[in-house]
Amino acid sequence: MRFHFTEAAGDPAHWLPLARAVEDAGFTGICLADSLAYPSESDATYPYTDDGNREFLRGKAFIEPLVLAAALTAATTRLHVTPFVLKLPVRPPVLVAKQAASIAALSGNRLSLGVGISPWPQDFTMMGVPLPHRGRRLDECIDIVRGLCGGGPFQHHGEFYDIPEIEINPVPTQPLPILLGGHSDAALRRSVIRGDGWMSAGASPADLDTMLAKLSTLRRELAPDKTFRTFAVSRDAFTPAGIVRLAQSGVTDAIIGFRGLHEPGPDHRTLDERIEQIQKFAATVIAETGTAA
Protein backbone atom coordinates (compact mmCIF):
# COMPACT_ATOMS: atom_id res chain seq x y z
CA MET A 1 0.00 0.00 0.00
CA ARG A 2 1.15 3.52 -0.84
CA PHE A 3 0.03 6.48 1.27
CA HIS A 4 -0.77 9.95 -0.05
CA PHE A 5 -1.53 12.95 2.13
CA THR A 6 -4.28 15.35 1.11
CA GLU A 7 -4.95 18.80 2.53
CA ALA A 8 -8.41 20.36 2.84
CA ALA A 9 -7.60 23.80 1.46
CA GLY A 10 -5.95 25.14 4.62
CA ASP A 11 -3.45 27.95 5.08
CA PRO A 12 -1.36 28.25 1.88
CA ALA A 13 1.70 29.11 3.97
CA HIS A 14 1.60 25.59 5.44
CA TRP A 15 1.97 23.74 2.14
CA LEU A 16 5.76 23.57 1.86
CA PRO A 17 6.48 22.57 5.47
CA LEU A 18 3.63 20.05 5.34
CA ALA A 19 5.11 18.49 2.20
CA ARG A 20 8.49 18.13 3.91
CA ALA A 21 6.83 16.62 6.98
CA VAL A 22 4.86 14.17 4.83
CA GLU A 23 8.01 13.11 3.01
CA ASP A 24 9.92 12.66 6.29
CA ALA A 25 7.05 10.58 7.70
CA GLY A 26 7.25 8.01 4.90
CA PHE A 27 4.31 8.95 2.71
CA THR A 28 4.68 8.20 -1.00
CA GLY A 29 2.95 11.34 -2.17
CA ILE A 30 0.54 14.20 -1.78
CA CYS A 31 -2.77 14.83 -3.57
CA LEU A 32 -3.95 18.32 -4.56
CA ALA A 33 -7.54 19.49 -4.97
CA ASP A 34 -8.59 21.73 -7.86
CA SER A 35 -11.03 24.63 -7.65
CA LEU A 36 -10.82 27.40 -10.23
CA ALA A 37 -13.21 29.89 -8.65
CA TYR A 38 -16.31 30.01 -6.48
CA PRO A 39 -19.41 31.07 -8.46
CA SER A 40 -21.63 33.49 -6.58
CA GLU A 41 -24.73 31.78 -8.00
CA SER A 42 -25.19 28.20 -9.14
CA ASP A 43 -28.11 25.80 -9.29
CA ALA A 44 -25.80 22.81 -9.76
CA THR A 45 -25.51 20.21 -7.02
CA TYR A 46 -22.21 18.82 -5.81
CA PRO A 47 -22.06 15.05 -6.47
CA TYR A 48 -19.85 14.10 -3.51
CA THR A 49 -21.92 15.40 -0.58
CA ASP A 50 -25.13 13.82 0.69
CA ASP A 51 -27.24 16.93 0.09
CA GLY A 52 -25.42 18.35 -2.93
CA ASN A 53 -24.44 21.47 -1.00
CA ARG A 54 -21.33 23.36 -2.13
CA GLU A 55 -21.09 25.96 0.66
CA PHE A 56 -18.11 24.16 2.18
CA LEU A 57 -16.04 25.61 -0.69
CA ARG A 58 -16.81 29.24 0.09
CA GLY A 59 -13.80 31.19 1.33
CA LYS A 60 -11.35 28.28 1.11
CA ALA A 61 -7.91 28.80 -0.40
CA PHE A 62 -7.07 26.65 -3.41
CA ILE A 63 -3.72 27.12 -5.11
CA GLU A 64 -3.82 26.06 -8.77
CA PRO A 65 -2.67 22.42 -8.57
CA LEU A 66 0.00 22.42 -11.28
CA VAL A 67 1.51 25.62 -9.86
CA LEU A 68 1.48 24.02 -6.41
CA ALA A 69 2.87 20.74 -7.77
CA ALA A 70 5.90 22.62 -9.12
CA ALA A 71 6.51 24.24 -5.74
CA LEU A 72 6.09 21.01 -3.75
CA THR A 73 8.37 18.92 -5.94
CA ALA A 74 11.01 21.66 -5.74
CA ALA A 75 10.74 21.69 -1.93
CA THR A 76 11.12 17.89 -1.58
CA THR A 77 13.39 15.18 -2.96
CA ARG A 78 11.25 12.05 -3.43
CA LEU A 79 7.60 13.05 -2.84
CA HIS A 80 5.21 12.30 -5.69
CA VAL A 81 2.45 14.82 -6.43
CA THR A 82 -0.97 14.06 -7.95
CA PRO A 83 -3.76 16.56 -8.73
CA PHE A 84 -6.94 15.05 -7.30
CA VAL A 85 -8.37 15.84 -9.79
CA LEU A 86 -7.49 18.46 -12.39
CA LYS A 87 -10.58 19.70 -14.27
CA LEU A 88 -9.02 18.88 -17.60
CA PRO A 89 -11.74 19.58 -20.19
CA VAL A 90 -12.04 23.26 -19.15
CA ARG A 91 -8.31 23.79 -19.75
CA PRO A 92 -6.36 23.96 -23.03
CA PRO A 93 -4.88 20.45 -23.35
CA VAL A 94 -1.67 21.54 -25.08
CA LEU A 95 -0.94 23.95 -22.23
CA VAL A 96 -1.67 21.25 -19.64
CA ALA A 97 0.67 18.89 -21.48
CA LYS A 98 3.42 21.51 -21.47
CA GLN A 99 2.93 22.24 -17.76
CA ALA A 100 2.77 18.58 -16.76
CA ALA A 101 5.76 17.59 -18.88
CA SER A 102 7.81 20.45 -17.45
CA ILE A 103 7.02 19.54 -13.83
CA ALA A 104 7.67 15.84 -14.44
CA ALA A 105 10.97 16.55 -16.20
CA LEU A 106 12.19 18.94 -13.50
CA SER A 107 11.16 16.64 -10.63
CA GLY A 108 12.50 13.36 -11.96
CA ASN A 109 9.10 11.91 -12.92
CA ARG A 110 7.42 12.74 -9.60
CA LEU A 111 4.13 13.92 -11.12
CA SER A 112 1.06 11.83 -11.86
CA LEU A 113 -1.90 13.57 -13.48
CA GLY A 114 -5.28 12.93 -11.91
CA VAL A 115 -8.00 14.32 -14.21
CA GLY A 116 -11.78 14.48 -14.34
CA ILE A 117 -14.85 16.45 -15.40
CA SER A 118 -15.91 19.45 -13.34
CA PRO A 119 -19.36 19.19 -11.71
CA TRP A 120 -19.86 22.95 -12.14
CA PRO A 121 -21.28 24.33 -15.42
CA GLN A 122 -19.81 27.69 -14.36
CA ASP A 123 -16.28 26.27 -14.73
CA PHE A 124 -16.97 25.75 -18.43
CA THR A 125 -18.60 29.17 -18.80
CA MET A 126 -15.79 31.09 -17.10
CA MET A 127 -13.18 29.29 -19.21
CA GLY A 128 -15.07 29.80 -22.46
CA VAL A 129 -15.57 26.07 -23.09
CA PRO A 130 -18.91 24.61 -24.26
CA LEU A 131 -20.57 22.35 -21.70
CA PRO A 132 -22.16 19.75 -24.04
CA HIS A 133 -20.24 16.57 -24.84
CA ARG A 134 -17.77 17.23 -22.04
CA GLY A 135 -17.06 13.51 -21.66
CA ARG A 136 -15.91 13.19 -25.26
CA ARG A 137 -13.94 16.41 -24.85
CA LEU A 138 -12.17 14.90 -21.84
CA ASP A 139 -11.30 11.83 -23.90
CA GLU A 140 -9.61 14.00 -26.53
CA CYS A 141 -7.80 16.03 -23.89
CA ILE A 142 -6.37 12.85 -22.36
CA ASP A 143 -5.20 11.64 -25.75
CA ILE A 144 -3.52 14.99 -26.48
CA VAL A 145 -1.78 15.24 -23.11
CA ARG A 146 -0.56 11.65 -23.29
CA GLY A 147 0.59 12.01 -26.87
CA LEU A 148 2.54 15.21 -26.31
CA CYS A 149 4.10 14.07 -23.03
CA GLY A 150 5.29 10.90 -24.74
CA GLY A 151 7.80 12.88 -26.80
CA GLY A 152 8.36 13.24 -30.51
CA PRO A 153 6.12 14.74 -33.19
CA PHE A 154 2.40 14.54 -32.42
CA GLN A 155 -0.77 15.62 -34.17
CA HIS A 156 -4.45 15.30 -33.36
CA HIS A 157 -7.53 15.80 -35.54
CA GLY A 158 -10.66 15.21 -33.53
CA GLU A 159 -14.17 16.44 -32.84
CA PHE A 160 -13.07 19.30 -30.58
CA TYR A 161 -9.36 19.89 -31.25
CA ASP A 162 -7.42 20.10 -34.50
CA ILE A 163 -3.72 20.22 -33.72
CA PRO A 164 -1.10 20.17 -36.48
CA GLU A 165 2.10 18.20 -35.97
CA ILE A 166 3.94 19.68 -32.99
CA GLU A 167 6.49 18.58 -30.40
CA ILE A 168 7.16 19.71 -26.85
CA ASN A 169 10.46 19.56 -25.01
CA PRO A 170 11.41 18.55 -22.35
CA VAL A 171 9.24 15.55 -21.67
CA PRO A 172 9.41 13.01 -18.81
CA THR A 173 11.87 10.16 -19.10
CA GLN A 174 9.05 7.82 -18.06
CA PRO A 175 5.42 7.76 -19.27
CA LEU A 176 3.28 10.29 -17.40
CA PRO A 177 0.66 8.35 -15.37
CA ILE A 178 -2.86 9.63 -16.06
CA LEU A 179 -5.50 8.73 -13.48
CA LEU A 180 -9.25 9.27 -13.85
CA GLY A 181 -11.56 10.55 -11.14
CA GLY A 182 -15.33 10.20 -10.88
CA HIS A 183 -17.86 7.75 -9.48
CA SER A 184 -20.13 7.20 -12.50
CA ASP A 185 -20.06 4.04 -14.58
CA ALA A 186 -18.72 6.13 -17.46
CA ALA A 187 -15.86 7.41 -15.29
CA LEU A 188 -14.94 3.89 -14.19
CA ARG A 189 -14.97 2.65 -17.77
CA ARG A 190 -12.92 5.63 -18.95
CA SER A 191 -10.31 5.00 -16.27
CA VAL A 192 -9.79 1.44 -17.54
CA ILE A 193 -9.81 2.29 -21.25
CA ARG A 194 -7.84 5.55 -21.25
CA GLY A 195 -6.20 5.80 -17.85
CA ASP A 196 -3.49 4.22 -15.77
CA GLY A 197 -5.67 4.22 -12.68
CA TRP A 198 -8.78 5.46 -10.91
CA MET A 199 -9.22 7.94 -8.05
CA SER A 200 -12.19 7.85 -5.67
CA ALA A 201 -13.24 11.19 -4.24
CA GLY A 202 -14.65 9.64 -1.09
CA ALA A 203 -17.66 7.34 -0.77
CA SER A 204 -19.42 5.26 1.82
CA PRO A 205 -17.77 1.88 2.48
CA ALA A 206 -20.62 0.11 0.67
CA ASP A 207 -20.46 2.43 -2.35
CA LEU A 208 -16.68 2.12 -2.54
CA ASP A 209 -16.94 -1.68 -2.46
CA THR A 210 -19.51 -1.55 -5.28
CA MET A 211 -17.32 0.68 -7.43
CA LEU A 212 -14.23 -1.44 -6.80
CA ALA A 213 -16.14 -4.55 -7.85
CA LYS A 214 -17.31 -2.84 -11.05
CA LEU A 215 -13.76 -1.67 -11.70
CA SER A 216 -12.41 -5.19 -11.26
CA THR A 217 -14.94 -6.54 -13.78
CA LEU A 218 -14.13 -3.80 -16.30
CA ARG A 219 -10.42 -4.45 -15.97
CA ARG A 220 -10.88 -8.17 -16.60
CA GLU A 221 -13.04 -7.46 -19.65
CA LEU A 222 -11.23 -4.49 -21.21
CA ALA A 223 -7.61 -4.39 -20.05
CA PRO A 224 -6.58 -7.54 -18.18
CA ASP A 225 -2.84 -6.97 -18.66
CA LYS A 226 -2.68 -3.24 -17.93
CA THR A 227 -0.77 -2.04 -14.87
CA PHE A 228 -3.39 -0.13 -12.91
CA ARG A 229 -3.47 1.90 -9.69
CA THR A 230 -6.52 2.54 -7.53
CA PHE A 231 -6.56 5.54 -5.17
CA ALA A 232 -9.22 5.75 -2.47
CA VAL A 233 -10.26 7.93 0.43
CA SER A 234 -11.59 5.61 3.12
CA ARG A 235 -11.99 5.48 6.90
CA ASP A 236 -10.45 2.00 6.67
CA ALA A 237 -7.11 3.64 5.89
CA PHE A 238 -6.70 4.79 9.49
CA THR A 239 -6.03 1.35 10.97
CA PRO A 240 -3.62 -1.43 9.96
CA ALA A 241 -6.51 -3.90 9.73
CA GLY A 242 -8.41 -1.48 7.51
CA ILE A 243 -5.40 -1.14 5.23
CA VAL A 244 -5.40 -4.92 4.79
CA ARG A 245 -9.09 -4.81 3.82
CA LEU A 246 -8.48 -2.04 1.29
CA ALA A 247 -5.57 -3.91 -0.26
CA GLN A 248 -7.65 -7.06 -0.54
CA SER A 249 -10.38 -5.08 -2.35
CA GLY A 250 -7.93 -3.78 -4.94
CA VAL A 251 -6.86 -0.41 -3.53
CA THR A 252 -3.17 0.29 -4.18
CA ASP A 253 -2.96 3.87 -2.88
CA ALA A 254 -4.67 5.24 0.24
CA ILE A 255 -5.42 8.97 0.39
CA ILE A 256 -5.14 10.32 3.93
CA GLY A 257 -6.67 13.57 5.14
CA PHE A 258 -7.17 14.69 8.72
CA ARG A 259 -9.94 17.19 8.01
CA GLY A 260 -12.60 16.52 5.42
CA LEU A 261 -12.67 18.83 2.42
CA HIS A 262 -16.45 19.00 2.79
CA GLU A 263 -16.29 20.47 6.30
CA PRO A 264 -17.51 24.08 6.26
CA GLY A 265 -15.71 27.01 7.83
CA PRO A 266 -12.05 27.83 8.33
CA ASP A 267 -9.44 25.34 9.48
CA HIS A 268 -7.95 26.63 12.72
CA ARG A 269 -5.32 23.93 13.20
CA THR A 270 -1.79 25.21 13.62
CA LEU A 271 1.06 23.94 11.49
CA ASP A 272 2.49 22.08 14.48
CA GLU A 273 -0.86 20.37 15.10
CA ARG A 274 -1.04 19.26 11.48
CA ILE A 275 2.48 17.88 11.51
CA GLU A 276 1.72 16.02 14.74
CA GLN A 277 -1.24 14.31 13.05
CA ILE A 278 0.98 13.27 10.15
CA GLN A 279 3.65 11.86 12.45
CA LYS A 280 1.13 9.99 14.58
CA PHE A 281 -0.42 8.36 11.52
CA ALA A 282 3.00 7.36 10.24
CA ALA A 283 3.87 5.73 13.56
CA THR A 284 0.58 3.87 14.00
CA VAL A 285 -0.29 2.88 10.41
CA ILE A 286 2.56 3.30 7.93
CA ALA A 287 5.14 1.79 10.27
CA GLU A 288 2.81 -1.14 10.97
CA THR A 289 1.82 -1.90 7.39
CA GLY A 290 4.74 -0.71 5.29
CA THR A 291 4.58 1.54 2.24
CA ALA A 292 5.53 0.85 -1.37
CA ALA A 293 7.68 3.22 -3.39
Give the C-alpha separation, 147 to 141, whole Å: 10
Output the domain CATH number for residue 66: 3.20.20.30
pTM: 0.93
- The whole-number pLDDT of residue 243 equals 97
Number of domains in the chain: 1
Residues in the chain: 293
What secondary structure, in 3-state letters, does the chain show? CEEEEECCCCCHHHHHHHHHHHHHHCCCEEEECCCCCCCCCCCCCCCCCCCCCCHHHCCCCCCCHHHHHHHHHHHCCCCEEEECCEEHHHCCHHHHHHHHHHHHHHHCCCECEEEECCCCHHHHHHCCCCCCCHHHHHHHHHHHHHHHHCCCCEEEECCCCEEEEECCCCCCCCCCCEEEECCCHHHHHHHHHHCCEEECCCCCHHHHHHHHHHHHHHHHHHCCCCCCEEEEECHHHHCHHHHHHHHHCCCCEEEECCCCCCCCCCCCCCHHHHHHHHHHHHHHHHHHHCCCC
Give the C-alpha separation, 269 to 10, whole Å: 9
- The whole-number pLDDT of residue 178 equals 98
CB 264 within 8 A of CB 56: yes
Helices 15-25 and 65-75 sit at what angle, rounded to 10 degrees? Answer: 60
- The whole-number pLDDT of residue 203 equals 86
User: In the chain, which stretches have pLDDT less than 50?
Assistant: none
Domain that holds residue 75: 2-289
Q: Is residue 16 packed enough to be buried (19+ CB in 10 Å), middle (13-18) or exposed (0-12)?
A: middle
Is the four-CA dihedral 52, 35, 97, 127 of positive or negative sign? Answer: positive
Closest by CA position to 103, among listed 165, 138, 145: 145
- The whole-number pLDDT of residue 165 equals 98
- The whole-number pLDDT of residue 49 equals 63
Q: Each residue of 247-270: pLDDT tens digit?
A: 999 999 999 999 876 777 778 899
- The whole-number pLDDT of residue 280 equals 97
